Structure 1
Amino acid sequence: MIYVDADACPVKAEAEQIATRNRVKIAFVSNGGLRPSANPLVEMVYVDHGADEADKWIAERAGPGDVVVTGDIPLAAKAVAAGAEVLRHNGEAFTEANIGTALATRDLMADLRAADPFRQGGGRPFSKTDRARFRDGLERALRRAATRGS
């Protein structure tokens, strides 16, 4: 199963295409506002509005044999700990080897933003290259998940 933290996910279409090609069920989890899909492999899951409700829903279900797509680092940490394969939207994998660093960096950046409220900026724009890396990363994650879930 693929679980997509879908509220701000820029690669929903790519994830559905790859799930369909691989005949894997996929759940798009959000607070609402997503169009339903006619694809029989797609489950649209609408959770209550509130902080981290989609993350909680995914974290309660993901485990070995599953793939989680998220940009949320605390959710990624929970999914990695549960044995799931976890990907960022750009195809980068969160693993046991790098999730601690990702959490520490997230906390450091939050502290820096809090210390300088005038600090502006964001990341670079999401590119075609990011989409291509995501597609490749999801294919690889599905293969790894298949061996872990067996």
Structure 2
Amino acid sequence: MAALTILVDADACPVKDEIYRVAGRHGAHVVVVANAFLNVPREPWIERVIVSDKFDAADDWIAERAGPHTVVVTADVPLASRCVKAGASVLGPTGKAFTDSSVGMALATRDLMQSLREAGAVTGGPKPFSPKDRSAFLGALDRALMRLKRATKDG
């Protein structure tokens, strides 16, 4: 059975503690990928990877390793798209799953919002991260790992 792995786009991830908690329950390996040093718990199943500060270095590292036995946690829509295409389960920090059917719309919405911001039509950012978002993420990560466990048992 292939090991379950959670790849974390960690630089701005608000749910790292939740990831560690759920991964510990499921026996999943966690890889925390960042451009700079981040503290992570000292557990044999948690790995810290520091990539260069080159643009998209963390995204490239994650995308190259994403696959059917991985869950990727990111708010970065282009990275989510790359990982979905690689067969990974992809979750945003609010628990929203990126899928084949949703990632195209997410990319289009992202591009539209970027154009509106550049034109000065939109000045606000995303809504603040809430306890409800954190709770939704915990449930979504738990379900994603359960699905992958079943798939690796059956396949």
CA offsets 1:40-59 (integer angstroms, 9 cap, x no match): 11000000012111100000
Q: Distance in 2 between matches of 1:119 and 1:102?
A: 17
TM-score, length of structure 2 as denominator length: 0.92
Runs of at least 5 residues in structure 2 that lack an aligned partner in the other structure:
none
Partner residue in 2 for 1:122: 125
Residue 100 of structure 2 aligns to a residue in which SS? coil
Equivalent residues in 2 for 1:1-150, closer than 5 Å? 1-116=5-120, 119-149=122-152, 150=155
TM-score, length of structure 1 as denominator length: 0.94
CA offsets 1:48-86 (integer angstroms, 9 cap, x no match): 012111100000001001100000000000100000000
Q: Distance in 2 between matches of 1:46 and 1:123?
A: 27
Deviation at 1:148, TM superposition (A): 4.2
- RMSD of the TM alignment (CA)? 1.2
Runs of at least 5 residues in structure 1 that lack an aligned partner in the other structure:
none
One-letter amino acid matched to 1:109: M
Range 36-45 or range 90-99, more displaced = 36-45
Residue 44 of structure 1 aligns to a residue in which SS? strand
Q: Where in structure 1 do 4 or more consecutive aligned residues deviate above 4 Å? A: none
CA offsets 1:69-124 (integer angstroms, 9 cap, x no match): 000000000100000000000001000010100011111111111111x7421121
